[in-house]
Structure 1
Amino acid sequence: MTDVPFIAIEGPIGIGKTSLAKELSHQFDYHLLKEIVEENPFLGKFYDDIDEWSFQTEMFFLCNRFKQLEDIEKKYLNLNKPVVADYHISKNMIFAKRTLQDDKFDKYEQIYQILTKDMPVPNMMIYLNASLDTILKRIRLRGREIEQNIKASYLAQLSQDYEAYMNDFEILHPNIPVIRINGDELDFVQNKTDLDLIINKVRQSLNNQLASYK
């Protein structure tokens, strides 16, 4: 784990990860790493027929995120330039476990382990979550055509998967602080006071980490 600030933001689809990453990038003058989403040529087909298109969709995401993180390590972290990302590559396993059949998941996991074993690990996680109603509302508001066919049941299950994943993450990585943000209570896009509250939480965590490195 690098001692250069490397913040990853995670949470279900539509929760506001990219919006918050942009705000933090601007506030702290960190490089912004955005995941490739709409460029995935399989994603629309995936939302229409998950079983048929899940493996292609997940492999596209994995390969592109691997390349992004490889570049980030070389061009930023290794040069002591801080980064804030709107995803953590381990999210791939959340989706793969939910969408892939057993035989394809086994193949996928082998490739995932090979590609990610040397990847840089964030030294701070921000976890955004909210009720299904809030998530659905935010997906509608941002208006991505490709997301309009997402089933509410899929989003609900994904939210549960994320919660379980983050609980395990905190156990497995006790030295990586996790800042949890409840999207039902805080709307950092519409409310500057809520945004300032989150920024102060992040700043305090960064200061604590800096003190621990000295």
Structure 2
Amino acid sequence: MYIGIAGNIGSGKTTLTRMLAEHYGWTPKFESVTFNPYLEDYYSDIPRWSYNLETYFLAQRFKDVLEITRSNDVIVQDRTLAEGVHIFVANNFAMGNLSERDYRTYMDLYEVMASMVREPDLLIYLKSSVPHLVAQIQKRGRDYEQTMSLDYLKGLNERYDNWISTCRGRVLTIEADGLDFQNRPEDFSCITDRIDAELFGLFPSEGPAENDR
């Protein structure tokens, strides 16, 4: 089984991926941020480095999804292949950070890759407001993230909502603003109860988190 964790920058995807892997004994796949050779350059000059950064992310996620496709383990992944494309690449193209030529080349490559791998059996979407994202970004203190504009985060949020509304598979939307699942066990239990209900039918799908679409 393949579980994807989706959400904007600062929504808590990586933390939730780690905690779910520990809780259920699943195998985690984390997004390559710490070791991405383009990330700091990207935030200093987005138009110059967008194609390089997005192509690097695409290659890394494709490797991960190939491993997921071939694995018999239950795997939980921090940000999916499609999410990176339909949110971040689409946003960079709309903002003029990717040329028409680079975008078409990138999408041709993505479509070939997407035809070779599986989609998540369940996508968990951490839905967060811009103020919540800003607070989380400031809290973790990555220098290259501190210059992101509110409009940039707002634009990404709008794309997330549009993308989630058109996803074909099973989606579990978690309203993250009022939750501190890292520090409050009861909040984490709210999430695992929702997951148990979706995957195993063990609990009623109710509570402070938003109901499934």
Q: Same fold (TM over 0.5)?
A: yes
Alignment of 1:120-139 (within 5 A): 120-139=118-137
Equivalent position of 2:24 in the other structure: 28
Matched, 1:160 2:153: no
Quick one: distance in 2 between partners of 1:15 and 1:24? 15
Q: Which residue among 64, 67, 70 is the counterpart of 1:68?
A: 64
- How far 1:33 moved relative to its partner? 0.8
Q: Structure 2 stretches of 5 or more lacking a match?
A: 93-97, 203-213
Q: Percent identity?
A: 30
Quick one: distance in 2 between partners of 1:65 and 1:126? 17
Q: Deviations over 1:23-43 (max 9, x none)?
A: 111111110111111212111
- How far 1:145 moved relative to its partner? 2.4
Alignment of 1:162-201 (within 5 A): 162-169=160-167, 173=168, 176-201=169-194
- How far 1:69 moved relative to its partner? 1.5
**Counterpart contact for 2:2–2:68, Cα < 8 Å:** no
Matched, 1:54 2:46: no
- How far 1:208 moved relative to its partner? 4.1
Equivalent position of 2:101 in the other structure: 103
- How far 1:103 moved relative to its partner? 2.2
Equivalent position of 2:205 in the other structure: none
Quick one: distance in 2 between partners of 1:115 and 1:7? 19
> Number of matched residues?
196
Amino acid at match of 1:124: L
Matched, 1:207 2:200: yes
What TM-score comes out, normalization by structure 2 length? 0.87
User: Structure 2 vs 1, CA of residues 146 and 38 (structure 1 numbering), >3 Å: closer, same or farther?
Assistant: farther
Amino acid at match of 1:183: A
Q: Structure 1 stretches of 5 or more lacking a match?
A: 210-214
What TM-score comes out, normalization by structure 1 length? 0.87
Quick one: distance in 1 between partners of 2:23 and 2:35? 27
Amino acid at match of 1:82: V
What is the SS of the residue equivalent to 1:180?
strand
What is the SS of the residue equivalent to 1:187?
coil
User: Higher relative contact order by CA 8 Å / sep ≥ 6: 1 or 2?
Assistant: 1
RMSD: 1.5
What is the SS of the residue equivalent to 2:173?
strand
4+ runs deviating over 4 angstroms: none
Matched, 1:16 2:12: yes
